[in-house]
């Protein structure tokens, strides 16, 4: 008797972008998660609605993709993001394994994507908060590389804005992220990992 089992496909039901809510943080490196879900909402024709129960903005609806799509932008500040995520999970009765969170990562070069199905916070305060509130590390994440600065302190770097050249990279990275996520929604995040984890965009690249 063959006891081998095909791994269950992981298809997100809730996609979360992490960031800080005040206008002074708009388009900073640390807010790349917000930019990513904003781009998804535009591409999928979804509108944001403020929801005080969720401590954030949520966009939901049916699109050309399979199933119901929900996007979330917590408005609790980065280090309390888990409060918002927990509220949404409880309301919709979703398991932690059904979420995908998008956020910045200094340990990845600018333009690099990496999808993981679980893991530690890696020093990211938003992920620390999510793990604390959700109670597990078993949720998928898509990290977008913002690179490190040899000239600026960490806080100045993550709260700084991209240069014009870097912005060209970020636009292409956000498009690449959308393609990876759409594949994950259709065929599972495992498939998206296999195709997109080694892809990156460099300054001057024509990748689109």
- Annotated catalytic residues are 30
Residues forming a β-bridge with 104: 144
> Is 197 assigned a ligand-binding role in the annotation?
no
Q: Is 92 part of any known ligand binding site?
A: no
Strands 99-105, 113-116: pairing is: unpaired
CB within 8 A of 96, min separation 6: which ones?
Answer: 89, 134, 135, 136, 138, 139
Exposure letters 117-141 (e unless 16+ CB within 10 A, then b): beeeeeebbbbbbbbebbeebebbb
Q: Each residue of 48-59: b (16+ CB within 10 Å) or e?
A: beebeebbbbbb
196 is known to lie in a ligand binding site: no
Is 125 among the annotated ligand-binding positions?
yes
Q: What is the DSSP letter of 8?
A: P
Nearest to 98 by CA among 45, 144, 134, 132: 134
Residue that has been written with the tokens 């509108």 in this structure: 47
Bridge partners, residue 71, by sequence: 15, 59
User: Quick one: which H or E segment has residue 205?
Assistant: none
Residue ranges of the binding site for tRNA: 25, 77, 79, 125
């Amino acid at each position: 008797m063959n006891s081998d089992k095909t791994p269950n496909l992981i298809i997100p039901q809730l996609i979360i972008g992490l960031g800080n809510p005040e206008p002074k943080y708009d388009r900073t490196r640390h807010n790349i998660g917000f930019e990513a879900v904003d781009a998804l909402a535009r591409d999928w024709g979804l509108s944001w609605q403020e929801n005080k129960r969720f401590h954030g903005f949520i966009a939901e609806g049916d699109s050309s993709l399979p199933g119901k799509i929900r996007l979330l932008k917590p408005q609790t500040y980065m280090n309390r993001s888990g409060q918002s995520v927990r509220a949404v999970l409880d309301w919709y009765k979703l398991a932690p394994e059904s979420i995908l969170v998008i956020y910045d990562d200094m340990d990845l070069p600018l333009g690099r994507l990496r999808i993981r199905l679980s893991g530690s916070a890696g020093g990211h305060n938003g992920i620390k908060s999510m793990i604390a509130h959700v109670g597990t590390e078993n949720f998928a994440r898509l990290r977008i590389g913002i690179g490190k600065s040899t000239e600026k302190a960490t806080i100045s770097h993550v709260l700084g804005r991209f240069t014009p050249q870097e912005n060209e990279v970020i636009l292409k990275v956000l498009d690449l992220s959308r393609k990876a996520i759409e594949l994950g929604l259709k065929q599972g995040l495992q498939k998206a990992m296999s195709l997109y984890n080694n892809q990156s965009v460099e300054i001057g690249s024509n990748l689109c």
